[in-house]
Amino acid sequence: MSFAMQTIGLVHSCFREKFGIPRQSGLVAEARAEIEILPPFDRDEAFSSLESFSHIWVIFVFHQCLRQKWKATVRPPRLGGNRRVGVFASRSTFRPNPLGLSVVKLDGLARRQGHLYLQISGVDLLDETPVLDIKPYLSYADSLPQAVSGYAPRAPKAAGQLVFSAEAEAQCQHYAQGYPQLRALIENLLQLDPRPAYRAQTGEEGEVYAMRLLDFDLKWEVRNSEIHVLRLDSTG
């Protein structure tokens, strides 16, 4: 059997490219996005009572992986990228059906110029991600503190000491009015060490990394095991 599904919404996210996005939801509270609900699903009554829930499940399509073939085994970054596990024992984006599932905080619902938006945070979603469904998170059913989580028993450790250059510090202050959480967002993202697992492992230092974040190119490097935030180049 195969099924046709409709996109009910589109994500507008602070993450404009795959590199640098947290590998799970809930890891960076300052990572914000909106889901723009598309017609004919953007009816107020379809979302009535949703605001009484603090968190929601978002079921979405890994739209930037559609052309890649799935593989029976994958190498999760969590295992240093050098041990294979079954695709169904992973949260890899390369799956037979490219579906993602994230729990995110629901910060509110807003209507602007006729469009309905769900404001969410703690996201691991790329900009323009198509959303297939939204469901309320039910703590009594969905939270299982005694669950055993295989090779990923807990959240990743903080990567290390973070140092902002004088230029990056000044830029965060300069943009603080439009982006009040920018510094904390950068700090918490880089603490997750977005470098490919093999790079992080070999401890290769001195290479400048860049990611598109909001309206900036964020540049950093790892030196003496410290993460140095170099600067934010505006892309606007």
Contact residues toward ligand SAM (CB under 6 A) are 18, 21-25, 62-65, 91, 93, 100-102, 124-126, 129
| Closest approach of ligand SAM to the CB of residue 179, in Å | 21
107 exposure class (CB count in 10 Å sphere: 0-12, 13-18, 19+): middle
- Least CB distance from residue 166 to ligand SAM, whole Å? 30
Whichever of 9 and 164 has its CB closer to ligand SAM, that residue is 9
How far apart are CB 87 and ligand SAM at their closest, in Å?
12
Give dist(CA 79, CA 152) in Å, integer.
9
Least distance (Å) between residue 129 CB and ligand SAM: 4
Cα 55 to chain centroid distance, Å, stands at: 15
Phi, psi of 168 (to 5 degrees): -65, -40
Nearest to ligand SAM of 129, 171 (CB atom): 129
Nearer to ligand SAM, 78 or 228 (CB): 78
Q: What angle do CA 197, 202, 207 make, to 5 degrees?
A: 85
Residue 220 corresponds to which tokens in the numbers above?
A: 């950093």
CB-based contact 219:203 (threshold 8 Å) = no
CB of 101 to ligand SAM, least distance (A): 4
Nearer to ligand SAM, 24 or 165 (CB): 24
Q: CB count, 10 Å around CB of 46?
A: 13
- State which residue, 156 or 163, has the beta carbon closest to ligand SAM: 156
Q: State whether residue 200 is helix, strand or coil.
A: helix
